[in-house]
Amino acid sequence: MDDRHWPKDVGIRAMHVVIPSLYVDQADLERYDRVSEGKYTVGLGQKQMGFCTDLEDVNSLCLTAVSQLVENNGLSYSDIGRLEVGTETLVDKSKSAKTVVMKLFAAAGNHSVEGVDTTNACYGGTAALFNALAWTESSAWDGRLAVVVAADIAVYAAGSSARATGGAGAVAMLVGPGASLVVDRGLRGTYMDHAYDFYKPDLGSEYPVVDGKLSVRCYLNALDRCYESYRSKCGQRGDAVRGLGAFDSFVFHAPYCKLVRKALARLYAKDSAGETASAAEEASTGADEAAAMDRSRPVFEAKTGPSLMLASRVGNTYTASVYSGLASYLLSVPPERLAGKRIGVFSYGSGLASSVYSITVADNGLAAMVDRLRVSVTAGLERRTRFTAEQFADALDVRRESLHRAPYAPAGDRALLFPGTWYLSGIDEMRRRHYERKE
């Protein structure tokens, strides 16, 4: 279809990041876990980890993210015609988190809101975003805006080396025409496959089963396939085949920051003159890994390093991870220099599902969007309460022991929550969850 028949500049009009009010320092965790100094801070590239007590679950994170996105952007709930949640932190096998968030729409009398939850490990937020974009460009679109929420709480068993790769948070995105972050139409490379690299077969536990080495291989192979597909789409359109040089930033899903460095080195090797895909494979998985990362360091620091600010300080937020990376990059560049930037995005979810797509930054209320985002992120990081590693471990023990208990009254300290946070006030004898907001 001729571009004149599409809504103009469809993409992300606003973003809001929810950061947990509690965090633990990764250096403290190294000492507590009795591992070598630098194992988490250097080996994984992590500085801090945000986490939630039993007062918060995916529903409360979504309630907080949507309510603050609406309030901070002067919206009415009547303005929204689609709401989708991407998450893997499910609390019910049937009832979607989206339906819980609908309680926010009741006062406006708006019950005509399409969309439900989308789930596949860390990819759910991207699938939800693609659905919202497609709705906006379809015959079903009624002219209203869409909201996408990516939210998760990543926790791992005590004593597991994976526990240091946890985190929690949410990113809410307002989607529609006239966007500041325009998703490039027709440029998307997707790769799907069947793998057991990370999965959650035990429905009575929040903890996943992880094959770490397989997961890294799956992530990097998916990146290869998506990147090749994206570049092929460029060629089909008659565009120059785009390598890293065509992007001002490249944002990756970040289970931990060191993996992102490997991923960027891999793409750099594939783009470099005279290097083949097999050379890239060797550079990112073999003895030349450190050398490959060293060769790509200037490109990493310019294009990807700034996107890891939240990943390093909050941790892995699963579906929200790649979008917290997008937010981090936007905050690293003066707003007056953002317009016209092109951002590559790699989203990965184990099991597996993955895509590479691109965003062009447009000057559609851009400065105001970035200013609001900066205020929310800065306030979240600065107001947090630091827990000791012992307090962190105790809080996660309470989450584990209380999972699926009913009736249940959460034991977490509400005074430590940020104002405006929705929280779980209790679970009744019929296992219905009740939520209140801290004023």
State how far the alpha carbon of 28 is from the alpha carbons of 41, 44, 155, 162, 421, in Å.
Answer: 10, 14, 17, 16, 27
Q: Residue 233: inside a domain, yes or no?
A: yes
In the prediction, which pLDDT does 1 show?
A: 43
Question: Per-residue pLDDT averaged across 90-112, rounded?
Answer: 97
For residue 290, pLDDT over 60 is answered with: yes
Q: How many domains does the chain have?
A: 1
For residue 2, pLDDT over 70 is answered with: no
Q: Residue 3: inside a domain, yes or no?
A: no
Q: Residue 385: inside a domain, yes or no?
A: yes
pTM over cut 0.85: yes
Buried b (16+ CB within 10 A) or exposed e, 50-60: bbbbbbbbbbb
**Is 56 an annotated catalytic residue?**
no
CA–CA distance, 295 with 262 (Å, rounded to integer): 11
Residues forming the annotated binding site for CoA? 215, 258, 262
205's CB contacts (< 8 A; 6+ apart) are 400, 403
Q: Residue 2: inside a domain, yes or no?
A: no
Residues forming the annotated binding site? 215, 258, 262
For residue 44, pLDDT over 60 is answered with: yes
For residue 114, pLDDT over 90 is answered with: yes
CA–CA distance, 340 with 249 (Å, rounded to integer): 12
Helix or strand holding residue 391 (H, E): helix 389-402
Q: Residue 20: inside a domain, yes or no?
A: yes
| Residue listed under structure tokens 């860390």 | 122
Q: Residue 1: inside a domain, yes or no?
A: no
In the prediction, which pLDDT does 3 show?
A: 60
56, 88, 114, 206: the catalytic one is 88
For residue 415, pLDDT over 60 is answered with: yes
Domain that holds residue 152: 11-438
For residue 205, pLDDT over 60 is answered with: yes
**Is 88 an annotated catalytic residue?**
yes
Burial bucket for residue 110 (CB in 10 Å: 0-12, 13-18, 19+): middle
30, 52, 84, 122: the catalytic one is 122
Q: Which of 71-75, 175-179, 279-283, 305-309 has the lowest mean pLDDT?
A: 279-283
In the prediction, which pLDDT does 160 show?
A: 78
**Is 253 an annotated catalytic residue?**
yes
State how far the alpha carbon of 171 is from the alpha carbons of 179, 201, 204, 206, 246, in Å.
Answer: 17, 26, 26, 21, 27
Q: Residue 352: inside a domain, yes or no?
A: yes
| Residue listed under structure tokens 């691109």 | 358
Q: Is 280 left (phi over 0), alpha (psi -120 to 50) or beta?
A: alpha
Give 311-321 pLDDT, tens digit per residue: 999 999 999 99
Q: Which amino acid is at 396?
A: L
| Residue listed under structure tokens 């909201």 | 147
Give, as one character, the DSSP assignment of residue 344.
E
State how far the alpha carbon of 246 is from the alpha carbons of 73, 283, 296, in Å.
Answer: 32, 22, 16
CATH of the domain at 197: 3.40.47.10
In the prediction, which pLDDT does 274 show?
A: 44
